[in-house]
């Protein structure tokens, strides 16, 4: 049967070796002409590219001021600091820093009492690695040029450097001055006059190494405050397990209960303007003493608040200013330090007909009374 089938097919006019050579020649020709464009196809492609480019330019030129493309460009190329008359850009930047970061007349140095609290143990390698691991990628570096990615690479390659450094800082209660310099980036508020310092929103870019150390000490402070129930339960902001939803539910519950009891109700909302920027260092240190936090953490925060500086880069040089009050925008310790200071307000003895609660720097008071007249008199 196989012999019959074999004879039924025609014989190829070339050998197997010749067939391989033919196939190789075809593949060579295919590769030779694969990258070549037909002249007409190439011309059509160029026309399409030119047309789409012009359409894109037209769309960009036709964008409104608050359009998406406009927002992207403004975020990448912020407005230049305006100079007045003969004033240089560096002098204008210094003037903006002087107005934003005021030099308070309240003494900033607070003499710490000798703490009788036991010190916290050293930062563990796992604790440090967890903080470094969760550093967000793509963040701009500070004036030292060290970004989050570089910190991660260094720690992965030499995992004993940062534990040694941070635990030495904890042991000496010293937060190095070079890690406390904030590089200020100004964002102009929409529709505001460039000539006014209040028209800019400052963001402070802090050294990454300093941010890791600050995060470590803030975690220790948070654990102490929560584990000892040092924070008033009526503070709902910046706390785990609490949110704006729980704050609103608590507020509505107080109002409904008072109305159900036939009371007249007044709700007073207070928003503290520039709460973080105007937070007094003296108040922070006094609150830390009162919280009975570990002695080395207490002293390390004291070091953190001393000799802080902010700097603003211009083409003519840097403008520098001492930061003697407030917490830098972008600082991880700011929310916890604010809660610690605001705790004193919530712990005040309030009248029985007054309920107070807070969400971060927003306070609300619910005042109830039997009559409208007595409600006015109470307030």
CA-to-CA separations, 35 to 31, 32, 46, 186, in angstroms, rounded = 8, 7, 17, 50
The alpha helices in the chain, defined as continuous H runs, are: 2-8, 16-34, 39-61, 68-76, 89-100, 125-133, 148-157, 161-172, 208-227, 244-260, 281-291, 295-305, 334-346, 372-378
Average pLDDT over residues 3-13: 51
Residue 259: per-residue pLDDT: 93
Nearest-5° Cα angle at 205, 325 to 362: 50
Sheet-wide strand order for 264-271 = 264-271, 362-369, 354-359
Average pLDDT over residues 328-332: 78
Tell me how far apart the alpha carbons of residues 65 and 71 are, in angstroms, rounded to a whole number.
8
- Gyration radius of the chain over CA positions: 33
Residue 234: per-residue pLDDT: 93
The mean of the pLDDT values for the chain is 83
Length of the chain: 379
Over residues 134-188, the pLDDT tens digits come to 999 888 888 888 999 999 999 999 999 999 999 999 999 999 999 999 999 888 8
- Beta carbons of 345 and 119 less than 8 angstroms apart: no
Over residues 80-128, the pLDDT tens digits come to 565 555 578 888 888 888 888 876 645 545 565 567 789 999 999 999 9
Nearest to 279 by CA among 328, 210, 348, 330: 328
- Beta carbons of 104 and 325 less than 8 angstroms apart: yes
Look-up of token digits 């310099």: 181
Nearest to 78 by CA among 181, 194, 196, 182: 194
Instruction: Give me the residue spans of the domains in the chain.
Output: 15-29+74-378
User: For residue 60, what pLDDT band results from cuts at 50, 70 and 90?
Assistant: low
Q: Residue 11 pLDDT > 80, yes or no?
A: no
Residue 2: per-residue pLDDT: 46
Residue 71: per-residue pLDDT: 58
Residue 301: per-residue pLDDT: 95
Residue 77: per-residue pLDDT: 46
What is the per-residue DSSP string for 111-156?
------SPPPPPPPHHHHHHHHHTPPTTPPP-TT---HHHHHHHHH
Partners of 215 in beta bridges: none
Q: Residue 16 pLDDT > 80, yes or no?
A: no
Look-up of token digits 């006059």: 193
- Beta carbons of 298 and 290 less than 8 angstroms apart: no
What is the signed CA dihedral for 17, 20, 22, 24, rounded to 10 degrees?
-140
Q: Residue 64 pLDDT > 70, yes or no?
A: no
Q: Identify the residue with better confidence: 64 or 123.
A: 123
Tell me how far apart the alpha carbons of residues 331 and 218 are, in angstroms, rounded to a whole number.
10
The two structure tokens encoding residue 274:
């520039």
Residue 11 is given by DSSP the state P
Q: Residue 252 pLDDT > 90, yes or no?
A: yes
- Is beta strand 264-271 parallel, antiparallel or unpaired with respect to 309-314? unpaired
Q: Residue 192 pLDDT > 90, yes or no?
A: no
The two structure tokens encoding residue 311:
């700097």
């Amino acid at each position: 049967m196989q012999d019959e089938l074999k004879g039924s097919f025609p014989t190829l006019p070339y050998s197997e070796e010749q067939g391989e050579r033919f196939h190789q020649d075809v593949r060579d020709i295919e590769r030779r002409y694969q990258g070549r464009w037909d002249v007409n196809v190439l011309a059509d492609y160029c026309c399409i590219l030119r047309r789409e480019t012009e359409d894109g330019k037209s769309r960009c030129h036709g964008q409104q001021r608050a359009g998406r493309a406009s927002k992207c460009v403004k975020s990448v190329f912020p407005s230049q600091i305006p100079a007045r008359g003969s004033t240089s850009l560096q002098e204008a930047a210094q003037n903006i820093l002087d107005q934003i970061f005021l030099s308070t007349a309240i003494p900033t140095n607070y003499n710490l009492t000798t703490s009788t609290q036991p010190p916290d143990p050293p930062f563990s390698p796992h604790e440090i690695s967890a903080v470094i691991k969760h550093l967000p990628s793509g963040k701009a570096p500070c004036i030292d040029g060290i970004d989050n990615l570089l910190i991660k690479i260094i720690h992965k390659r030499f995992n004993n450097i940062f534990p040694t450094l941070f635990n030495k800082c904890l042991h000496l209660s010293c937060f190095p001055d070079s890690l406390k310099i904030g590089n200020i980036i100004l964002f102009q508020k929409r529709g505001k006059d460039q000539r006014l310092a209040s028209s800019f929103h400052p963001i402070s870019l802090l050294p990454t190494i300093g941010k890791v150390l600050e995060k470590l000490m803030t975690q220790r402070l948070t654990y102490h405050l929560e584990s000892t129930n040092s924070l008033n339960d009526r503070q709902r902001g910046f706390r785990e397990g609490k949110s704006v939803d729980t704050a609103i539910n608590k507020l509505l519950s107080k109002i409904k209960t008072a109305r159900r009891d036939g009371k007249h109700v007044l709700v007073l909302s207070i928003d503290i303007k520039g709460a973080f920027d105007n937070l007094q260092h003296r108040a922070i240190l006094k609150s830390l003493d009162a919280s009975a936090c570990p002695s080395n953490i207490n002293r390390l925060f004291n070091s953190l608040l001393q000799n802080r500086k902010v700097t603003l880069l211009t083409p003519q040089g840097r403008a520098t200013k001492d930061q003697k009050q407030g917490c830098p925008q972008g600082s991880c310790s700011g929310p916890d330090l604010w809660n610690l200071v605001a705790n004193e307000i919530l712990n005040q003895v309030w009248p029985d007909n007054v309920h107070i609660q807070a969400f971060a720097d927003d306070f609300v008071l619910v005042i109830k009374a039997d009559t409208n007249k007595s409600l006015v008199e109470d307030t």
